[in-house]
A = this chain, B = another copy of it.
Amino acid sequence: MSVTQEYDLIVIGAGPAGENVADRAVKQGLTAAIVESELAGGECSYWACMPSKALLRPVAATGDARHVQGVAGATLEPAAVLDRRDAFASHWKDDGQVKWLVSAHVDFYRGQGRITGPKTVAVTGADPAELRARHAVAVTTGSGAMIPPVPGLAAARPWTSREATSAHKVPGRLAVIGGGVVGCELATAWQALGTRVTLIARGRLLGHAEEFAGQLVADGLRRAGVDVRAGVSATSVQRPAQGGPVTLELDDGTTVQADEVLAATGRTPRTGDLGLETVGLEPDSWLDVDDTLRVQGVDGGWLYAAGDVNHISLLTHMGKYQARICGDAIAARAHGQEPAVTAWADHSAVPQVIFTQPEVASVGPTAAQAQAAGRNIRVVDYDLGAVAGSKLFADGYTGQARMVVDEDRRTMIGATLAGPGAGELIHAATVAVAGEVPLDRLWHAVPSFPTMSEIWLRLLEAYGL
């Protein structure tokens, strides 16, 4: 028996984006319900960021310790690492998240949420209900792994990011198809845990990043023992019906045998079973939004989409950023006002940290992207390993830094750092980019000696300040 309930806002998808949309709206006086077909907390909490970083942090801590003379004996214990990961994934139980939703005064419905028409959502599953939104519906269902159309792959029971972040056994051999963030991070983790990893990438690694970053990550993976095959594609995959290893044929004529194969070649929107067709939208497509996260082409403007599902930036922190702005926009309009803040950073200041060894951290466009966008730029490069703080951090530190400067405005618009421990260095650049701080002013932001952050001084000096 389903009940009918009315809320100011109905959110479909209880990942970080959905939770933040609901929370912001409730804090501004709205009532809200959230619908989740799997676990409250979403992909990030159970099958992506949290478990992958729980696997990768011990790898980094071990690597960091091993590169400091005077520290001996640091070794990775795979079983303990997997236990740690289980704890960070809350053992795939969402009690904590559900409790948080209750404390945030958001009503939780467990089940599949489907739009049935303007401002109406039907929930089927554990908590069946007919929900009606007074003001808005927000879709925050995220994305799922894409299985590329390689003959035999789908039938070979491939791992996706889900299995690769939640597996409880260390496979003997793992073939990774895809040289992007997911492929590189999970190759790093499993190789360190004892798996022999082969990484198969159609092009160079980390194709969206500065080329030097992909090169340093490829070097790092090879040093760790990963068989990196760049510029190669799988043409077929076979796994015997009765089980056993998979065999991949590659377009360079070689073959790879592995116990598991990970498909890490991209994402698809989770919009197939949302009832989008009832309001004139295309199922299985990404949702186009404006700067207040309102979905385009829906009469009445009551539908919003934040996070992966709008395809702007498939990153948890950008999903949360959009969610804050989306929740605020919904609340403002419910109160008869226009939103004061729109999603500026989506276009100009997207940061990303890739937790490989070395780490890669970036914000804003790469040099190539800025050039393609017609910006008048100057590129400044500096050896991250030449900074005193880096030398102290790790003996024989290897890394590289790049700053992209808009010459017309004399501001930093992009930056990329690759090196051990680089992940925490990038937020300084994100503040500079988002704050549009002139270089002449950045000159007075003195980095502490001897930290790695002195790279920002070196880049300004190299620019000519």
Interface residue A279 (Cβ < 8 Å from any Cβ of B):
no
- Give the CA-CA distance A450 to B71 in the complex, in Å: 27
Q: Mark A427-441, 1 if CB is under 8 A from B, else 0.
A: 110111111110011
Interface residue A46 (Cβ < 8 Å from any Cβ of B):
no
State whether A80 and B74 are in contact (beta carbons under 8 Å apart), knowing that A351-B447, A427-B453 are contacts in the complex.
no
The answer on a CB contact under 8 Å between B80 and A72 is: yes
Q: Mark A14-37, 1 if CB is under 8 A from B, else 0.
A: 001000000000000000000000
From residue A20, how far is it (CB to closest CB) to chain B in Å? 10
When distances are taken between beta carbons in the complex, the residues of chain B under 8 Å from A434 are 437, 441-442, 444-446
Chain B residue nearest in CB terms to A446? B321
Q: Mark A216-236, 1 if CB is under 8 A from B, else 0.
A: 000000000000000000000
Chain B residue nearest in CB terms to A69? B84
The answer on a CB contact under 8 Å between A61 and B64 is: yes
The answer on a CB contact under 8 Å between A450 and B53 is: yes
- Give the CA-CA distance A344 to B444 in the complex, in Å: 7
Q: Mark A47-86, 1 if CB is under 8 A from B, else 0.
A: 0011001100110011011001111111111101101100
The answer on a CB contact under 8 Å between B69 and A317 is: no
When distances are taken between beta carbons in the complex, the residues of chain B under 8 Å from A431 are 428, 431-432, 435, 437, 442, 445, 456
- Give the CA-CA distance A70 to B193 in the complex, in Å: 10
Residue from the list B352, B441, B449 in contact with A315, Cβ < 8 A: B449
Chain B residue nearest in CB terms to A412? B431
The answer on a CB contact under 8 Å between A424 and B445 is: no
Interface residue A400 (Cβ < 8 Å from any Cβ of B):
no
Interface residue A426 (Cβ < 8 Å from any Cβ of B):
yes
When distances are taken between beta carbons in the complex, the residues of chain B under 8 Å from A81 are 69-70
- Give the CA-CA distance A65 to B441 in the complex, in Å: 38
Q: Mark A346-377, 1 if CB is under 8 A from B, else 0.
A: 00011111000000010000000000000000
Interface residue A316 (Cβ < 8 Å from any Cβ of B):
yes
When distances are taken between beta carbons in the complex, the residues of chain B under 8 Å from A69 are 58, 80-81, 83-84
- Give the CA-CA distance A444 to B73 in the complex, in Å: 43
From residue A319, how far is it (CB to closest CB) to chain B in Å? 9
The answer on a CB contact under 8 Å between B71 and A74 is: yes
Interface residue A452 (Cβ < 8 Å from any Cβ of B):
yes
The answer on a CB contact under 8 Å between B57 and A68 is: yes
Interface residue A421 (Cβ < 8 Å from any Cβ of B):
yes
Interface residue A174 (Cβ < 8 Å from any Cβ of B):
no
State whether A72 and B71 are in contact (beta carbons under 8 Å apart), knowing that A425-B427, A435-B437 are contacts in the complex.
no
The answer on a CB contact under 8 Å between B424 and A452 is: yes
- Give the CA-CA distance A84 to B77 in the complex, in Å: 27
- Give the CA-CA distance A75 to B345 in the complex, in Å: 44
Interface residue A393 (Cβ < 8 Å from any Cβ of B):
yes
Give 16 new A-B contacts, CB below 8 A, not counting A61-B65, A70-B80, A72-B80.
Answer: A62-B65, A64-B64, A68-B84, A69-B83, A72-B74, A315-B449, A317-B448, A318-B446, A321-B446, A345-B444, A352-B448, A427-B445, A427-B447, A428-B430, A432-B435, A437-B437
Q: List 8 A-B contacts (CB under 8 A).
A: A58-B68, A58-B69, A61-B64, A61-B65, A317-B454, A345-B445, A427-B428, A434-B444
Interface of A toward B, CB cutoff 8 Å:
16, 44, 49-50, 53-54, 57-58, 61-62, 64-65, 68-78, 80-81, 83-84, 88, 315-318, 320-321, 341, 344-345, 349-353, 361, 388, 391-393, 395, 421, 423-428, 430-437, 440-454, 456
The 10 closest A-B pairs by CB, nearest first: A70-B81, A435-B437, A73-B73, A58-B70, A434-B445, A427-B453, A317-B449, A74-B74, A427-B428, A65-B65
